[in-house]
Amino acid sequence: MFKISEDGIKKIKQELSRYEVKESAIIPSLYLAQKENNGWINTEVICALAEVMGLPESKINEVFKFYTMFNQKPVGKYHVQVCTNISCALNNSRELANHICNELKVRFDEVSPDGRFTISKVECLGSCGTAPMMQVNDRYYENLTSESAMNLLRGMK
């Protein structure tokens, strides 16, 4: 049974105190809960958040389902999100994403056999001027080539 840590509860209460309506604290609270649940969110997490926030589960669920940065199934230790929107696509990001999957022997949105990687294709991450780019957990990597991306990923243990 998932439980939010004491520190997590404290942070969520701080977020709640910053806004006039509780709903405004849903996104940062989902982020926090996702981190505490190894990078993804399930019904237990939603239930725990609803209790701490004093909101109906449905309110949290609708935000969770809308935003793609919240994962609906388990991800690897490193969640590699390759932008395949227009600027990145024009700079071969789709080929880059396929290359990474082939090299790491994992299908899109699945966890690699060693548990290290999940590769996802995502929409614009707001770094179009440095295309192609990818986000790995909380960090951006830009101006990538197939070689530089694989060097970065192979260094992540």
Give residues 123-152 in contact with ligand FES (rule: CB under 6 A). 124-128, 131, 133
3-state secondary structure of 136: strand
Asked if 92 interacts with ligand FES (CB under 6 A), we say no
Query: Of 9-17, 30-38, 120-128, 145-153, which segment contacts ligand FES by CB under 6 A?
Result: 120-128
Contact criterion met (CB below 8 Å) for 96 and 149: yes
CB of 80 to ligand FES, least distance (A): 14
Closest CA to 28 of 94, 20, 18, 38: 18
User: Which residues have C-beta within 8 Å of that of residue 99, sequence separation ≥ 6?
Assistant: 146, 149, 150
Task: Indicate the residue among 12 and 83 with the shorter CB distance to ligand FES.
Answer: 83
Contacts with ligand FES, residue ranges (CB under 6 A): 83, 85-88, 124-128, 131, 133
